[in-house]
């Protein structure tokens, strides 16, 4: 037997003082199995030890919130006894090491979080960030990740309906793969992980345990270095066909009154699932490790407890329900083994070969785990500004063509076409617009879902960037005709031990908090991913927001595509021409410094509420929010997505055309209106005190700005397809 030392503890990712604390809590030195368990539960990925003090400030309650953070996923009420269960999580490190399996198991893991709570998954979304397209690894990583997402989602039969694919050199050595799942459940059939009752059967179900994924959670809590390739064994291997069986078996059992609590074996595997269930119930748990179904020979207790083999669940059953449950899982050809029981010891007790292999007070793994108030530095608004007068004059049409043919703004159908978007037949609006729209099966209502991020804004000024990304997501949900209800977030940051990085995190969180509070848009679930970086070079702060909204009658849904000729085009919201941190400066002049655009909460809310009122009164033909790239990119996206062009007049309030068309001022929308509805629309906007401009009208064949641009729609689509077709 290996004697545990401080050196071995450090090799497990623990600090010297953390190892000392473990010894003090146990009143002895841990053995190897116990050390492995502590290293898994105390790492950043599982314990949130650096983020807890900031996360607690987020608004998590609301009339529509049934369950906020702290469970496998968040739950919101959408009326009529229906609930939506959703969450987003990262699988960044595994996807960089082994792109296909890393991305695939990210999808599998987030699906389990949702159906574990009693929901049938109805949609998948993703936010994926890669390094520069020219970087030697980008092409392979892109192909692997996209194939992995599609391979798992398509095989299990859940539509991938929306997402984003972005490129930036900050992710050259640490890509981001964030997966979001959405499920539908009945409010009276929601299941939780909290254990209850003594001497209740603890049941292992699903796939067998192997050696894949051991130390996966610990690997996700450390920076990369030159030994990254050596970490491949820590990446899990997924099987979507087995997950499909597991999902159906769990959902079938959930129709019975058999389950006390249920928890998937995700990060840290059997360790985290057993500890979390017992800790939440203030109970103890005893497991007989000889009963664990293993697919590899001579697995040790250490390996069994730390394996992150996929497609596994832990269930605590009501008395006399074992036979019924066993029949269900055996019918679906899955393992079903009673491996333990609940106790009153408040300890995790592991037995192997009739000996006690580990005995740990559960509070030592949960409530007494380290919590750090890391030092952090506040970032001020940048003073440096681009001198626009010195920049080379670029014609509007040349600038538009350059942006639309760039990696970040070109057509992403090469990605989305690898995903089945229509399976289950409830997808009403696919990828490519502001939000995907999903009909609630058999009902008149629908939900809108969207994911968004803006790393450049967050790097420039984290507080403003945090505000902006919530507002951007809110606008996307509004633009689909939905009332925004709640968000989930995936917070991707560098090393929290770096005060600058910790400052980015703290300030982004503050921005997210302020925006969510003002917009009544609570955070109900999420994930923190730290240590995204290589050799002490951290990624840009990249919080990803996944939003859910409700459309009470799905025929009120709307999208960004122009619908008819000779419609009036109105720009809602003021344009000041903010070019700092804009796509225009980055793509045309390689300038990425300066201040992000200001966020005006009252205007944001007032404009959005007014847009939603117009949609619900069926006064609009199409809506698109104005975001990255400014007004001209918004118009181009509306044209490309439809069969109609647009003719735009020159502005009256801002003579600098570059600022007007490429400025990224926030809180704005482009709306299309039939002429006979124009007076009613203007009446409502004026009543609500909303600034708006009549900027033009739709036409056939061309995107046109008077005296500046005239491009055929067909040519515009060719331009927009160019990059991906040639990559």
In percent, the amount of the chain with pLDDT more than 90 equals 87
Q: What is the pLDDT of residue 391?
A: 82
The pLDDT mean for the chain works out to: 93
226 pLDDT band (50/70/90 cuts)?
A: low
Q: What is the DSSP letter of 169?
A: G
Q: What is the pLDDT of residue 426?
A: 78
Q: Is pLDDT above 90 for 425?
A: no
Asked whether the CA dihedral 429, 431, 432, 436 is positive or negative, the reply is positive
247 pLDDT band (50/70/90 cuts)?
A: very high
pLDDT digits (tens, 9 = 90+) for 182-212: 999 999 999 999 999 999 999 999 999 998 8
Cα separation, 557 vs 544, whole angstroms: 24
Q: What is the pLDDT of residue 234?
A: 59
By DSSP bridging, strand 669-673 and strand 622-625 are antiparallel
Overall average pLDDT of the 493-513 stretch: 97
213 pLDDT band (50/70/90 cuts)?
A: confident
Q: Hey, how many other C-beta atoms are within 10 angstroms of the C-beta on 532?
A: 29
Q: What is the pLDDT of residue 368?
A: 94
Q: Helix or strand or coil: residue 707?
A: coil
pLDDT digits (tens, 9 = 90+) for 39-73: 999 999 899 999 999 999 999 999 999 999 999 99
Q: Residue 315: which residues within 8 A CB-CB, separation 6 or more?
A: 202, 203, 205, 253, 259, 261, 262, 325
420 pLDDT band (50/70/90 cuts)?
A: confident
Cα separation, 25 vs 19, whole angstroms: 10
- Quickly list DSSP for 15-52: -HHHHHHHHHHHTS---HHHHHHHHHHHSHHHH-TTTH
Cα separation, 659 vs 571, whole angstroms: 15
Q: How many residues does the chain have?
A: 727
Structure tokens at 546: 């996944």
Q: What is the pLDDT of residue 707?
A: 86
Cα separation, 53 vs 190, whole angstroms: 29
Q: What is the DSSP letter of 371?
A: -
Overall average pLDDT of the 629-637 stretch: 96
Q: What is the pLDDT of residue 224?
A: 53
Q: Is pLDDT above 90 for 28?
A: yes
Q: Is pLDDT above 80 for 327?
A: yes
By DSSP bridging, strand 436-439 and strand 427-429 are antiparallel
Give a three-class secondary structure readout of 306-359.
HCCCCCEEEEEECCCCHHHHHHHHHHCCCEEEEEEEEECCCEEEEEECCEEEEE
What's phi and psi for 362, nearest 5 deg? -65, -30
Cα separation, 406 vs 628, whole angstroms: 13
Cα separation, 401 vs 413, whole angstroms: 18
Tokens 């679930």 -> residue: 525
Cα separation, 581 vs 460, whole angstroms: 8
Longest C-alpha distance within the chain, in Å? 86
Cα separation, 519 vs 483, whole angstroms: 11
- Quickly list DSSP for 238-270: --HHHHHHHHHHHHHHTTSS-EEEEEE--TTHH
Q: What is the pLDDT of residue 214?
A: 83
- Counting Cα atoms < 13 Å in the Cβ hemisphere of 38 gives 33
Overall average pLDDT of the 417-426 stretch: 79
364-373, 381-390, 676-685, 694-703 — which is least confidently predicted?
Answer: 381-390
Overall average pLDDT of the 122-144 stretch: 96
Q: Residue 316: which residues within 8 A CB-CB, separation 6 or more?
A: 195, 196, 197, 200, 201, 202, 203, 259, 260, 261, 262, 277, 342
pLDDT digits (tens, 9 = 90+) for 602-620: 999 999 999 999 999 999 9
230 pLDDT band (50/70/90 cuts)?
A: very low
Q: What is the pLDDT of residue 95?
A: 95
pLDDT digits (tens, 9 = 90+) for 540-597: 999 999 999 999 999 999 999 999 999 999 999 999 999 999 999 999 999 988 999 9
Tell me the sheet residues that pair with 571.
Answer: 670, 693
Q: Hey, how many other C-beta atoms are within 10 angstroms of the C-beta on 7?
A: 9
pLDDT digits (tens, 9 = 90+) for 644-654: 999 999 888 77
Cα separation, 439 vs 429, whole angstroms: 10
655 pLDDT band (50/70/90 cuts)?
A: confident
Report the catalytic residues.
45, 91
């Amino acid at each position: 037997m290996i004697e545990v030392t401080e050196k071995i503890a450090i090799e497990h990712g623990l600090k010297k003082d953390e190892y000392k604390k473990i010894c003090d809590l146990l009143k002895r030195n841990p053995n190897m199995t116990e050390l492995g368990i502590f290293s898994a539960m105390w790492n950043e990925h599982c314990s949130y030890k650096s983020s807890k003090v900031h996360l607690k400030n987020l608004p998590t309650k609301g009339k529509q919130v049934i369950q906020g953070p702290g469970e496998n996923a968040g739950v919101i009420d959408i009326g009529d006894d229906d609930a939506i269960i959703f969450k987003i999580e990262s699988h960044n490190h595994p996807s960089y090491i082994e792109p296909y399996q890393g991305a695939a198991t990210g999808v599998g893991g987030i699906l389990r979080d949702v159906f574990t709570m009693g929901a049938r998954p109805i949609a998948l979304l993703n936010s994926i960030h890669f390094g520069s397209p020219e970087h030697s690894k980008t092409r392979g990583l892109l192909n692997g990740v996209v194939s992995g997402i599609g391979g798992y989602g398509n095989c299990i039969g859940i539509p991938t309906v929306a997402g984003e694919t972005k490129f930036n050199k900050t992710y050259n050595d640490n890509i981001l793969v964030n997966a979001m799942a959405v499920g539908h459940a009945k409010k009276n059939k929601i299941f939780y992980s909290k254990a209850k009752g003594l001497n209740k059967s603890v049941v292992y179900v699903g796939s067998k345990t192997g050696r894949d994924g051991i130390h996966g959670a610990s690997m996700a809590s450390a920076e990369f270095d030159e030994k990254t390739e050596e970490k491949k064994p820590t990446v899990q291997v997924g099987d979507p066909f087995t997950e499909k069986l597991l999902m159906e078996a769990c959902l079938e059992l959930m129709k019975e009154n058999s389950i006390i609590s249920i928890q998937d074996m995700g990060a840290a595997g059997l360790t985290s699932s057993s500890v979390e269930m017992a800790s939440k119930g203030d109970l103890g748990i005893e497991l007989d490790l000889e009963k664990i179904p293993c697919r590899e020979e001579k697995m040790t207790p250490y390996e069994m407890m730390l394996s992150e083999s996929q497609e596994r669940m832990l269930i605590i059953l009501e008395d006399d329900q074992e036979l019924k449950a066993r029949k269900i899982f055996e019918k679906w050809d899955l393992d079903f083994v009673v491996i333990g029981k609940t106790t009153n010891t408040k300890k995790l007790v592991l037995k192997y070969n009739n000996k006690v292999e580990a005995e740990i007070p559960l509070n030592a793994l949960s409530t007494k785990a380290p919590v750090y108030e890391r030092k952090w530095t506040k970032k001020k608004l940048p003073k440096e500004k681009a001198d626009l007068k010195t920049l080379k004059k670029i014609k509007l049409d040349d600038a538009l063509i350059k942006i639309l043919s760039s990696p970040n703004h070109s057509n992403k159908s090469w990605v989305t076409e690898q995903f089945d978007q229509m399976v289950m037949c409830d997808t009403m609006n696919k990828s490519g617009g502001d939000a995907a729209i999903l009909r609630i099966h058999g009902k008149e209502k629908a939900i809108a879902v969207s994911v968004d991020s803006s790393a450049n804004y967050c790097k420039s000024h984290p507080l403003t960037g945090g505000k902006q990304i919530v507002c951007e997501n809110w606008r996307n949900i509004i633009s689909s005709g939905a009332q925004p209800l709640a968000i989930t977030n995936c917070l991707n940051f560098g090393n929290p031990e770096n005060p600058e990085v910790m400052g980015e995190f703290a300030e982004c969180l503050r921005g997210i908090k302020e925006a969510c509070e003002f917009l009544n848009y609570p955070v109900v679930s999420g994930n923190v991913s730290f240590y995204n970086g290589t050799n002490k070079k951290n990624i840009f702060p990249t919080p990803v927001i996944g939003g859910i909204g409700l459309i009470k009658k799905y025929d009120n849904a709307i999208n960004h595509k122009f619908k008819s000729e000779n419609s009036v085009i109105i720009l809602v919201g003021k344009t000041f021409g903010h070019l700092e941190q804009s796509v225009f400066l980055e793509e045309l002049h390689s300038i990425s410094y300066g201040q992000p655009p200001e966020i005006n909460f009252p205007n944001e809310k007032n404009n959005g509420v007014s847009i939603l009122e117009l949609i619900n009164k069926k006064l609009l033909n199409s809506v698109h929010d104005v975001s990255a790239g400014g007004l001209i990119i918004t118009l181009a996206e509306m044209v490309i997505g439809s069969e109609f062009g647009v003719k735009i007049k020159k502005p009256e309030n801002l003579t600098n055309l570059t600022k007007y068309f490429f400025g990224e001022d926030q809180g704005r929308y482009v709306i299309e209106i039939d002429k006979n509805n124009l007076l009613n629309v203007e009446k409502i906007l004026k009543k609500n005190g909303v600034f708006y401009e009549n900027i033009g009208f739709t036409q056939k064949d061309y995107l046109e700005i008077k005296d500046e641009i005239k491009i055929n729609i067909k040519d515009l689509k060719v331009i927009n397809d160019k990059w991906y077709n040639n990559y």
